[in-house]
Amino acid sequence: MLDDLHALVEFAQAGSIAGAADRLFRTPSAITRQLQRLEAELGAELLDRSTKPPHLNSLGSRVLERARDMLQRTEALKSLTSSHAEPHGLLRIGLAHPLAERTLIDPILALTEKYPKVRVRLVSELTGELFSRLLAGELDVAAVLLPEGKTAPPPLLTNIIARDRMEIVQGAAGNVGADWESLGRAPWVLNPPGCPLRARLLDRMERDGFTPMIAAEIHNMHLQLAFVQSGYGIGLLPARFIARNHSIDAVKVLRPPSFELHPSVAIVRVGQLGALGKAVELLEHGFRQLLEAANTKKPVTRSRRGVPANRRKSQSRR
């Protein structure tokens, strides 16, 4: 029917069957058959054939308005699914809590500046909840942290863009030792249950027979860092986050034996995104550059005797 509606629109534009045939590179008889077929499908006459050449009657004019609207919507649908079209429409992005920091606003702003027809909607959730929302069609793409060597469950598609590093930290005035027994007696400030990083930490401690005391369960990394710096508890935070917040001197890094967390940063989606695919590629590029820049900075170093590395260096000069 869409092809027949197109013939009707061209007939109205040209003012004659012969004109429509020229515009569509068809014969006049082919255009006549299309208009007759459309009338048969709709069960009504759309042309007044009492005059030469025929013209649209009153009902035909109303059908013409709907036909134009339908054809425009069809073209919009084709544009939405085409990977060659300019990105436009709503892009729903999920961020895992450990990635939801203020520096990620730069890649998102770059996306909206390059593709002004794209509207972004952000949501921050646990990784498992983001997977569920992707599968339910509630999100288009999500940036998550995954255990090293792991991917999102099928049918989700995973693109690893960087590696992260987690550090166990305490306040600068803290005196907790970097051994599991000391860490097992200390209060902890962690993500709520459902976080795979928390699960890895607790599993490691429980294997040595220690059950940590949870003093706070908070998703917000800035608040976690504030609690750690105040001496309220021990935390597990990304090294990039500590460095970017100029907190190396405000915390001490504790590295107990046989424990390293290097999760993968991944962009996860369900399938092809059509015109929005280019926008997601730009987002991936921005996230990758941001994380690579963080990883090239001098790493947070292990504290010795309760004194941060930078402070030890200044003391050694005296």
**Tens digit of each residue's pLDDT (9 = 90 or more) over 252-279:** 999 998 888 899 999 999 888 888 889 9
Q: Clarify whether residues 221 and 119 are in a common domain.
A: no
pLDDT band, residue 25 (cuts 50/70/90): confident
**Do 193 and 310 reside in the same domain of the chain?**
yes
The mean per-residue pLDDT over the stretch 49-58 comes to 87
What's the pLDDT tens digit per position in 158-170?
999 988 889 999 9
Q: What is the pLDDT of residues 69-89, one digit of tens each?
A: 887 777 666 655 655 678 888
One domain for residues 201 and 308: yes
User: At 6, which CATH number?
Assistant: 1.10.10.10
Range from 80-89, 178-187, 231-240 carrying the lowest mean pLDDT: 80-89
Q: In this predicted model, which residue has the larger pLDDT, 120 or 274?
A: 120
Per-residue pLDDT, 80 = 58
Q: Check: CB of residue 182 under 8 Å from CB of residue 212.
A: no
Do residues 37 and 61 share a domain?
Answer: yes
Is the domain of 129 the same as that of 273? Answer: yes
The mean per-residue pLDDT over the stretch 285-313 comes to 57
235 and 280 in a common domain: no
144 and 25 in a common domain: no
% of the chain surpassing 70 pLDDT = 88
Q: Are residues 100 and 177 in the same domain?
A: no
Mean pLDDT of the chain: 85
At residue 249, the pLDDT reads 65
Same-domain check for residues 23 and 45: yes
pLDDT surpassing 60 at residue 301: no
CA distance linking residue 16 with residue 7, whole number of Å: 11
Any long-range contacts for 297-300 (C-beta under 8 Å, 24+ apart)? 297/240, 297/243, 299/165, 299/239, 300/167, 300/239, 300/242, 300/243, 300/248, 300/253
* Shared domain check, 43 and 116: no
47 phi and psi, to 5 degrees?
A: -115, 140
CATH code for the domain in which residue 225 is found: 3.40.190.10
Residue 130 has pLDDT above 80, yes or no: yes
pTM: 0.65
* 245 and 99 fall within a common domain: no
241, 297 Cβ separation under 8 angstroms: no
Q: How many domains does the chain have?
A: 3
Structure tokens at 124: 């921050």
Q: Is the pLDDT of residue 244 over 70?
A: yes
pLDDT exceeds 60 at position 313 = no
Q: Which amino acid type is present at position 269?
A: R
Boundaries of domain holding 197: 166-262+299-314
What value does the mean pLDDT take over residues 133-149? 91
Q: Last residue of some domain: 65, 81, 97?
A: 81
Label the pairing between strands 187-190 and 213-217. parallel
Q: How far apart are CA 148 and CA 262, in angstroms?
A: 6
Q: Which two tokens stand for residue 31?
A: 């255009």
Of 47, 81, 115, which residue constitutes the final position of a domain? 81
Is 113 found in the same domain as 16?
no
Single residue among 17, 49, 81 that ends a domain in this structure: 81
